[in-house]
Amino acid sequence: MIFAPLALPGAFVLEPELRHDERGFFARTFCARELAAHGLDPRAVQMNVSFNHKRGTVRGMHFQRAPMAEPKVVRCTRGALYDVLVDLRPSSPTYLRWEGVELTEESHRGVFIPAGFAHGFQTREDRTEVLYVMGEYFAPECADGLPFDDAGLGIAWPEPVTVVSDRDRAFAAVQTRGDALRAVFA
């Protein structure tokens, strides 16, 4: 795999090295040894998939509070999406900054998202499917999020938002959370 660092420290685009032959191709998309060699958390304890019917669907911005903060690798296995990461680590020079990456079934790319980040995405095509390799178990008591349209974050979604869950609309904004947000990963 090729590790392309993003502007947010510890986050990477993972480019598979495709090996083609008459059958098609083969590529490694996750390797604990390679992640560890780049100083990343290689744990994989759970895999999840989300399927999204409509273009413009937004899921996020989700995270788990410490001590269940979760690193993850995210890939688009069908369709296309705009994947967004927000750095929530108070000691980071990029605290509360976001970055977006296009992921498609054709590119086969993934994103490594460190623990201490919020994550979300917007579908760019109908019938988009997303695969997550999680480094921590889901803990409902630690599940949290930020509004996808939080003015304090200023995420520029590429499509009109067509579908968002009630849960994702109900998260409290960065401005109203103040020091409580800083304490999430302190």
Higher pLDDT, 185 or 121: 121
Residue 94's pLDDT is 97
Report angle CA 176, 138, 12 to the nearest 5 degrees.
75
Above 80 in pLDDT, residue 119?
Answer: yes
Domain 44-182, CATH: 2.60.120.10
Query: Which residue numbers are catalytic?
Result: 62, 132
pLDDT tens-digit map of 139-162: 999 999 999 999 999 999 999 999
**Mean per-residue pLDDT of the chain:** 94
DSSP codes joined into one string, 42-94: ----EEEEEEE-STTBEEEEEEE-TTS---EEEEEEESEEEEEEEE--TTSTT
Measured distance CA(176)–CA(157) in Å, rounded: 22
pLDDT tens-digit map of 43-59: 999 999 999 999 999 99
Measured distance CA(123)–CA(127) in Å, rounded: 9
Q: Domain-by-domain residue ranges, the chain?
A: 44-182
Above 90 in pLDDT, residue 177?
Answer: no
Task: Determine how many CB atoms are found less than 10 A away from the CB of residue 146.
Answer: 26
pLDDT tens-digit map of 77-94: 999 999 999 999 999 999
Q: What confidence category does residue 137 fall into, taking pLDDT thresholds of 50, 70 and 90?
A: very high
Residue 179's pLDDT is 75
Are the beta carbons of 118 and 86 closer than 8 angstroms?
Answer: yes
99, with CB counted inside 10 A (0-12, 13-18, 19+), is middle
Measured distance CA(186)–CA(133) in Å, rounded: 24
Above 80 in pLDDT, residue 171?
Answer: yes
Above 90 in pLDDT, residue 65?
Answer: yes
Handedness of CA 9, 165, 77, 106 (dihedral sign): negative
